[in-house]
Structure 1
Amino acid sequence: MKTLGILGGMGPMATACFMERITAMTAADTDQEQIPVIVYSNTQIPDRSAYLLGRPQAENPVTALRQTAHFLDGACDYIAMPCVTAHAFYTQIQQELSHAVLFNMVELTVQSLKAQNIKKAGLLATDGTIAGGVFKESLKNAGIESVLPGALSQKSLMALIYRIKAGKEPDMAAFNRILQELVSGGAERIVLGCTEISILNLKEKCPCAVPYTDCMELLAEAAVAACGGQVAQKWRQMRKSIN
């Protein structure tokens, strides 16, 4: 089997959730049938959104991201980065690697949407992801229009994301309103474009008329398959039921 490196810490709970997702979706009766994983939860990587938004005194996260990637590079065959906003710096991080392959969570997501012939996708993402154009070009090239929350809804979404980072209960009523706004805007599918949102159990907490695509799930599935693990059939069926 190949070894997976997780470039994490953005945030720590999302990293833990990603690790749990990998383990749960792997068809394994023994420890040895799980893929080998090295996790570097570098909580000292500066706030990606703050930098992309040009906030005063915001630190550039690229150096810390590249150092973390370099740490994993020699010991891993693949690297997964369960933070969508950090993909604004994907090219700079990739340039640091001499051995490992860095998964592109954005491309995995857009490929999934394109395969399902989605023309309008509602995007739930951080201010930094939107400002950095993380999804913009890839969606455009795939012929997919993005539907974004309005200014007030986006502000509520960011508050929700940071509450999850802080380990606090998010305002699910507000979240439901944001979802319905995207649906009203013509979204055929909702993209969970922030790994903090992936932590939520939307199937139970947020039933929505439009199905969703979870970037974290796609990344986990790609990682398990690439490293030689078997994706559990029950997981594939469960994903089909929400997609």
Structure 2
Amino acid sequence: MSKLKAMKSVSEKDSDSNPIYTIAGIGVVLIGIAVVYLALFGPSPTIDLDKLEGNANFKGNPDATVRIVEFSDFQCPACGFGFTQLQQILPQYLDRVKFTYRHFPLNNVHPYAQKAGEASECAADQGKFWEMHDTLFTNQENLTIPNLKSYAQQLNLNQQEFDACLDSSKHASKVASDFSYGASIGINSTPTLYVNGEKFSNLTAEQWKQALDSKLA
């Protein structure tokens, strides 16, 4: 009889302690949910805008309060779409916005992206980065080295200088440096854009207009 009482006593103690364990378990689950929520929807880490822009090609107002930085790949189809959308809107805002382009060639899937990036920098040496930038995005399916040299001719660049620049991989390290920096801040896809440090992916022309109007308000 005493043994049954003892067993009952132990059972009662276990029963009494269950709510505590249950509450503790719920607490752990809630903490886990909170951590995941903050990771997904919480404030982004502060990004140094000067480092984000780096020593990269830009257009627009250098003193603008709204600063856009794009990490992109000239062979990336999504980047090509993004280019067409931004081109519809950006010219209207260039007096109030600074737009910076940085390279993020996804070489494992886009074998011509690295050289295309280098070609844009070779064009920049002759003051025509943006002309080459636009040409490359307009001709994404034709980015072989002969194509790149042909585009230089179309843009009236000094052909000998351009060819020497491209053939020597003069700007390979600059393109690679952009990629390394982008990877270091968590970029893993293209296009990735930042507006005053706030991260965006591809936007339509209308979404760009809304975003810029909001930032400029």
The two structures have a TM-score, normalised by structure 1, of 0.26
The two structures have a TM-score, normalised by structure 2, of 0.28
> Which of structures 1 and 2 has the bigger CA Rg?
2
**More helix by percentage:** 2
